[in-house]
Amino acid sequence: MASLYGLINLTDEVINTHKSMLIDRVSSKDVQDDILAVLGGIDNILASALQQNLLTEDQLLKLKRIFTRKNKMDAPDLNEMDSMLDEIDADSKKKKVFGMEQSPINLVTDCGPHLTTQIMKNPAVTNPLKFTYPALVEKCTIMNNGHTVQINIPSSQKCLISIKGKVYQLVQFHFHTPSEHKIDSKQYEMEMHLVHANENGELCVLGFIFTVFGKRQRPKLALTQSRAHLALSKESMVNSKANADEETDNDTDDDGDYADEYTANRTKQGNDFLAQFWSQMPEKKTTEDIPLKKPLSFDYLFECASNKFTKNAKTNEIDIDMEMFEYDGGLTTPPYSEGVQWLVARKVAYMNVDQLTKLSACWGNVINARACQEMMGRKVQLRSHSSICLPVE
């Protein structure tokens, strides 16, 4: 802001004109008088700032408060003045222009330092992401609001995400057909959003994309077994070698060629996570929440989205190799509020055609997915292997 002083070379006539423009921008007569009263020896500075559109009305009012506290400085110290204007400038930069962080977006798998997507370096240290989900989530309810089907999670069930020093709790999850996010410009059949919120009302959304093409992964419940294993062995395992036990989850049904899969998937078993509540899917708009008959296990979801995971009895955690796109975005439904922390799994999950057909029919087979939005200069971080931990209770 020091450069402002070098820009001041205005005649009294121009200064008076700018002062008039300044006052005309403020609607309240009392505020106009207050601003005139504190202009003092800084006419040129404010006029120059106004001329270059550096100050808004809110910032001018803040200057008014600053100078009122300073007892109307007719000849302020230039260094002190510079510091004040820097404070105004910093405050302005904190307020992002709406529309710069909209969602969904096209997620690109090509990574590089000069590309939109970049590999997150050492995320376990620089930006750890931890899930604290119980093995079974109870007392959930399901409803149909006419636009989507939503499963609500009671606050007593502490399904937590910890990221960037903030902790968010799972509130609900819902569905969009087709997918809202694209991966390498490809749109898939469905997307599920797990919406988490913190005490300040900030949101973190975890997205999983589904397709009817591909091979069904058979969950081995190894993640659930690892929870039990850690609970039993935590006290007895004493050396680091015994603390790690790698499991892989790449078993798939042999479904033949991709060209025949869309038809074959009508009779093939569906996605195991979705199957937990699919029989209670409300086909019409509901007026009240319907209690789910059984508790939910998110282990199905995490296991099929991961390539492998490692048990660690020493830390009582399970390190999950679940690659995720991470970026700053917004809600995909009105009012499209920004400031949402987005995490989208890179691995596309499987569902069968019957599951997709039943789901989409719940809102009349109408597309309830928002189109991809512009990046507006944003960067996407791709989390590397073994960067997510699932603490075991």
Domains of the chain: 3-94 (no CATH), 106-391 (3.10.200.10)
How many residues can be counted in the chain?
A: 393
- What is the tens place of the pLDDT at every residue in 275-299? 999 999 999 999 999 999 999 999 8
Predicted local confidence at residue 25, as pLDDT: 53
Assess whether pLDDT exceeds 60 at residue 73: no
Tell me what the mean pLDDT of segment 361-368 comes to: 97
Assess whether pLDDT exceeds 90 at residue 371: yes
Nearest to 40 by CA among 81, 89, 2, 88: 81
Predicted local confidence at residue 134, as pLDDT: 87
Q: How confident is the model at residue 153 (pLDDT cuts 50, 70, 90)?
A: very high
Cβ atoms 151, 168 nearer than 8 A: no
Nearest to 282 by CA among 138, 137, 145, 173: 145
Cβ atoms 339, 198 nearer than 8 A: no
Predicted local confidence at residue 11, as pLDDT: 47
Q: How far apart are CA 194 and CA 209, in angstroms?
A: 12
Is 351 exposed, middle or buried, given 0-12, 13-18 or 19+ CB atoms closer than 10 A? buried
Tell me what the mean pLDDT of segment 143-155 comes to: 97
Q: How far apart are CA 209 and CA 193, in angstroms?
A: 9
Assess whether pLDDT exceeds 60 at residue 309: yes
Q: How confident is the model at residue 329 (pLDDT cuts 50, 70, 90)?
A: very high
Specify the residue for token string 């200064």: 15
Residues whose CB falls within 8 Å of the CB of residue 361, separated by 6 or more in sequence, listed in order: 283
The tokens of 140 are what?
């959930």
Predicted local confidence at residue 300, as pLDDT: 85
Tell me what the mean pLDDT of segment 307-319 comes to: 75
